[in-house]
Amino acid sequence: MSKFTAPGLSTDSADKVAGILQERLSALNDLHLTLKHIHWNVVGANFIGVHEMIDPQVELVRGYADTVAERIATLGSSPKGTAKAIESDRSWSDYSIGRDTAQAHLGALDLVYEGFITSHRDAIEKIGKIDPITEDVLIGQTAELEKFQWFVRAHLESYTGELKHSGASGEKEAADAAR
Ligand SMILES: [Fe+2]
């Protein structure tokens, strides 16, 4: 239970928001590590384009993790930023693709962004009822992440607007379809 929080917010409400934010902090920490893993493991024809496209995403997502962690502290709770916190907070599995082509990683990364953005939107929905200031932070982040997902999808899109890996249920399936 927090001993202080932002003005105009009860400590009970602040604790609820901080609890939701902790899960998003672990998701952001997992995402920037996953993006670096892709940056290091991508091979093949479009190597340099994808390798270099990923780094600005890493920087942005690391910045978002910092913002969310500091919001948790502002609300009077303690943000957990350790590897163990990522492991215990996450309901998803570790990124499953190793050395692979640009297309395969992008197919799998599209699914990563799909899951992440859906969960960020769920958090917006829950937090919006309690704290519009935190909601505003998450809305801004989601807009940028949706743009990055479009960058990823644009590599996999046909001229008729179809995605090669459409309907894939897991990262490996998406990678196989996109490769
Ligand atoms: Fe690098």
Residues 6+ away with beta carbon under 8 Å from 5? 11, 13, 14, 75, 76
Average pLDDT on 144-156 reads 97
Q: What's the CA-to-centroid distance between 36 and ligand 1, angstroms?
A: 8
Is the confidence at residue 2, as pLDDT, over 90? Answer: no
Q: What's the CA-to-centroid distance between 75 and ligand 1, angstroms?
A: 35
User: What span, in angstroms and rounded, lies between the C-alpha atoms of 108 and 131?
Assistant: 33
Q: What's the CA-to-centroid distance between 41 and ligand 1, angstroms?
A: 11
Average pLDDT on 53-66 reads 98
Average pLDDT on 64-85 reads 98
Is the confidence at residue 36, as pLDDT, over 90? Answer: yes
Q: What's the CA-to-centroid distance between 38 and ligand 1, angstroms?
A: 10
pLDDT reported for residue 1: 80
Q: What is the SS3 assignment for 115?
A: helix
How large is the angle between the packed helices 11-41 and 102-128, nearest 10 degrees?
170
Which spans in 42-99 are helix H? 47-74, 83-89
Average pLDDT on 74-85 reads 97
Average pLDDT on 73-89 reads 97
